Amino acid sequence: MVTLLCLGVVGSTAAEEPGLHYWHQGIMPPGAIGSGQLQRGGPLPGFFQPVEIKAPPGALVSLAVAGEFQTPQPTPSRVGMLIGQVYRVRVTNIPRNEGLEVFPTIEVIDRLYAPNGQQTRFAIQVELTQADLQLALDGKFVTRVIYIEDPDRALPVRSDLQAQDWFEAAPGQDPLAVADALGRPVAILRLGARLPNTGPDEAFFYGSPPLVVYPSTAAAAQPPAPSKTAPVRPAVMPQAAAPQAIGQPSSEEPQP
């Protein structure tokens, strides 16, 4: 998994890197790209794409349901998100920032095609890193585009399955255009300093779209207890194409 990250204001590079996203740019407001994808047709409307959310150890994450945030839970956690919708997330108990909160959004713009019966196993991975959370707390706006790596352009190195790799986009590059050049964008994570208004705010929650909650994977992520028996060599399980991520922080969060 790779993340492309860049400081500064997001810019357009359509003239330099012509691709498929002539009408889509990373600076577009949440929901605009996903809704455009639905208009193209195909097996997208009504599909709940499994998404695995990760955060630093100790941080708690809750998603908005029916206009309010649910009980904070440790990560990793897996949920099913509708393609084309925007989900508001609340991150609390952030390490070294106790008492502070960040409210990122996740927009799924495409789906994975996992083997039948293994959709939850091969979920889109959305990682909230300590660095990104700190940038958001400092008033920056971070955009990460998660994409499926093109096998013809994949780096010939073994990826760390426990962490999402990342790299920085050059200043002025559109992260969505860069992701499209490297593979197939599937989701967009946006982190900013925007806080909810007083009282119910459907605009802030983007209508609280429905989601599917899968059994928590937080317990499974903990290291196993030491065993007194002889060690057993673990089996190597086949993996699907690893989702990649591209990100870019700037100074402002787009409004819905």
The pLDDT score that the predictor gives to residue 13 is: 38
Per the prediction, the chain carries an average pLDDT of 74
Could you count the other beta carbons within 10 Å of the beta carbon of residue 100? 14
Q: Percentage of the chain surpassing pLDDT 70?
A: 57
Q: Is the pLDDT of residue 239 over 60?
A: no
Inter-residue contact 1 to 247 (CB < 8 Å): no
pLDDT digits (tens, 9 = 90+) for 24-41: 555 566 766 666 666 566
Q: How far is CA 30 from CA 17, 56, 205, 255, in A?
A: 23, 24, 11, 8
Q: Which helix (H) or strand (E) holds 181?
A: helix 175-182
35 contact partners, CB below 8 Å, separation of at least 6? 84
- Beta bridge partners, 77, equal 53
pLDDT digits (tens, 9 = 90+) for 194-227: 777 666 678 889 989 999 999 876 554 554 444 4
pLDDT digits (tens, 9 = 90+) for 158-199: 665 555 555 566 677 777 777 777 788 889 999 986 777 666
Would you place residue 238 in the very low, low, confident or very high pLDDT band (cuts 50, 70, 90)? very low
Question: Can you tell me the mean pLDDT for 86-106?
Answer: 94
DSSP 131: H
Amino acid at 176: L
- Model's pTM, two decimal places? 0.73
